[in-house]
Amino acid sequence: AVFEVSAADWRARPELAEEMFGPAGILIRVKDTAEMVEIAREFHGQLTATLLMDAADTAVAAALLPVLERKAGRILANGFPTGVEVADAMVHGGPYPASTNFGATSVGTLSIRRFLRPVCYQNLPDALLPDDLRD
């Protein structure tokens, strides 16, 4: 389902800003590029953001992209995030509340990092260090 709302109505109804899952999307009607960027700045963290565009929309997309990069873990152009391919470059996560760990992904080769915890070894003799840290 695709839902449509004006920018003013979207701002007046905070529940519309909640992330939706499933076959649904919301179309927010704006008056110009500046209002589009303002609305995007108000988004909470999202798993994905989609740009439906053609070549004529490149300048608008360029203005919006820096905002979306801070709001979503995955940005698509002319596609739908219906599947998450398990590939090296795939990221499935995003800023809070889309994910509680914005630096991690749940798929791809980087997903193992979710289970890592950094440890600093200060002034330990070589014999006590992990093999990878020994001289």
Instruction: State which amino acid sits at residue 43.
Output: F
Six-digit token pair at 25? Answer: 């999307």
Mean pLDDT of 16-35: 88
CB atoms within 10 A of CB 15: 5
Instruction: State which amino acid sits at residue 98.
Output: A
Q: How confident is the model at residue 60 (pLDDT cuts 50, 70, 90)?
A: very high
Mean pLDDT of 72-84: 82
The DSSP H or E segment spanning 42 is helix 33-42
CB atoms within 10 A of CB 95: 16
Q: Cβ distance 50 to 81 under 8 Å?
A: yes
Residue 40: what pLDDT? 96
Mean pLDDT of 110-132: 82
Nearest 10 degrees: Cα torsion 86, 90, 95, 98:
-30
Q: How confident is the model at residue 106 (pLDDT cuts 50, 70, 90)?
A: low
Question: Facing residues of 74 across strands?
Answer: 48
Name residues whose C-beta falls within 8 Å of residue 129's C-beta, 6 or more positions apart in sequence. 121
Q: How confident is the model at residue 9 (pLDDT cuts 50, 70, 90)?
A: very high
- What pTM, to 2 d.p., does this model score? 0.64
